[in-house]
């Protein structure tokens, strides 16, 4: 059964907090909550937001230093995201916050089944 409150309110808020907060524990908890909120009945854009967030965090976490800090040079913003027509690939464009570095991340799914 669709969950409009989760899809329309909770998931976007969790997505925003998880993306913008650089505290590792907050990010991990946010990602776990996103995973729990997304179901088989969630719209494709909501399912994609989880895949994109996982890829986004992986890139930013590479820039975390031994003290747990992600420097501004290692931070990115989410610019664009979209599914391919078959919903088997989710592409995410990110851009450096303090640089002109742009990356295109592509997440390939095994099937068109919803993410867990």
SS (H, E, C) 22-35: CCHHHHHHHHHHHH
User: Domain limits at 101?
Assistant: 4-108
Q: What angle do CA 10, 31, 42 make, to 5 degrees?
A: 50
pLDDT of residue 111: 54
pLDDT of residue 43: 84
pLDDT of residue 58: 95
pLDDT of residue 40: 76
Mean pLDDT split into 10-residue runs, the chain, 116 residues = 62 91 95 86 86 94 95 94 93 94 90 50
Domain count, the chain: 1
Q: Are the CB atoms for 94 and 102 separated by under 8 Å?
A: yes
Whether residue 115 is contained in a domain is answered as no
The model carries a pTM of 0.84
Whether residue 88 is contained in a domain is answered as yes
Whether residue 73 is contained in a domain is answered as yes
The tokens of 9 are what?
A: 């309110």
Neighbours of 48 (CB within 10 A): 23
């Amino acid at each position: 059964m669709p969950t409009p409150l989760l899809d329309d309110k909770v998931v976007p808020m969790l997505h925003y907090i998880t993306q913008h907060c650089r505290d590792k524990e907050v990010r991990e908890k946010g990602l776990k909550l996103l995973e729990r909120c997304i179901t088989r009945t969630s719209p494709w854009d909501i399912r994609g937001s989880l895949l994109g967030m996982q890829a986004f965090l992986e890139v930013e976490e590479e820039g975390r230093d031994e003290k747990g800090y992600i420097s501004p040079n290692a931070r990115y913003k989410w610019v664009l995201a979209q599914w391919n027509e078959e919903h088997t690939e989710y592409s995410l464009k990110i851009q450096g916050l303090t640089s002109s570095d742009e990356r295109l991340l592509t997440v390939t799914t095994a099937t068109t089944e919803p993410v867990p």
